[in-house]
Amino acid sequence: MAAKLILFPVPIGDGDPDLSIPAYNRELLNTCRTFIVEDTRTARRNLKRMGYDGVIDETVFLELNEHTPITDIAHYLDPISEGRNVGLMSEAGVPCIADPGSVITAMAHRQGIEILPLVGPSSIILALMASGFNGQNFAFNGYPPIDANKLTASLKTIESRIYRDSQTQIFIEAPYRNDKLLALLAARLMPTTRICVACDLTLPTQYIRTRMARLWLTDPPELHKRPAIFLLYK
């Protein structure tokens, strides 16, 4: 079998891997001795908890983050041309969604390298499944603008796509800004636009609730520093 680029999801938070990762992923993990990762320290820890049986000190970690020179990245897939699989791992959840991994998959396509994406926890999909919102038409918008005025302007476009196109709108936020975002959404959206908050997905503390924007103004949940997804629909 030709060597491949394999995309490995990682459990969200401290979740038990058996809850969110298929058994097969462990088998493939053990066919790789080179991993492209955002941070070597957390990647070592994630490999161990997912049952990697290679010697960590003999495993090659290639970092991919905002400090990585583009000239380094150009060589990241070289082991594949020498017949060895390379793994691409996220920090949490699935790689290449809301993380920098797609630089690598795009390069693999240009080099004619086979890519094998594996199943794992996507907080976007889990949240959408549970939201009660339209799953036939949806958009993930990444992080909302931090500036409150820009956010308000952006929400106008977003809300028009909800009502005109029946398109569910999805956001993620930096966990320490969750509470502020929810307060702004509740205050700035039309009162009957519905907000779903999905937090700590796959974890014992999981919280998923859908209600109208204005109802989130009273008794909001404590979301500070918890991984959360926000979904909007009519």
41: Cβ contacts below 8 Å, ≥ 6 apart: none
DSSP bridge partners of 60: 34
CB of 108 to a second copy, least distance (A): 7
Stretch that binds a second copy, among 47-55, 58-66, 196-204, 219-227 (CB under 8 A): 196-204
Among 77, 201, 223, 228, indicate the residue that binds a second copy (CB under 8 A): 201
Q: Which is nearer to a second copy, 16 or 147 (CB)?
A: 16
**Residues whose CB is less than 8 angstroms from the CB of residue 125 and which lie 6 or more positions away in sequence, other chains included:** none
160, containing H or E segment? helix 148-165
- Restricted to residues 5-64, the positions that interact with a second copy (CB under 8 A) are 7, 16, 18-24
- Report the residue count for the chain: 234
Nearer to a second copy, 73 or 97 (CB): 97
Residue where the block lists tokens 């997905």 = 201
Could you tell me which residues are beta bridge partners of residue 212? Answer: 194
Residues in a beta bridge with 63? 37
Under 8 Å between Cβ of 171 and 201: no
Interaction of residue 151 with a second copy, rule CB under 8 A = no
- The footprint of a second copy on this chain (CB under 8 A) covers a number of residues equal to 58
Burial class (CB in 10 A: 0-12, 13-18, 19+), 75: exposed
Stretch that binds a second copy, among 61-69, 122-130, 179-187, 223-231 (CB under 8 A): 122-130
Q: Which is nearer to a second copy, 57 or 136 (CB)?
A: 136
| Contact residues: a second copy, CB under 8 A | 7, 16, 18-24, 94-99, 101-102, 105-109, 114-117, 119-122, 124-142, 167, 196, 201-202, 206, 208-211
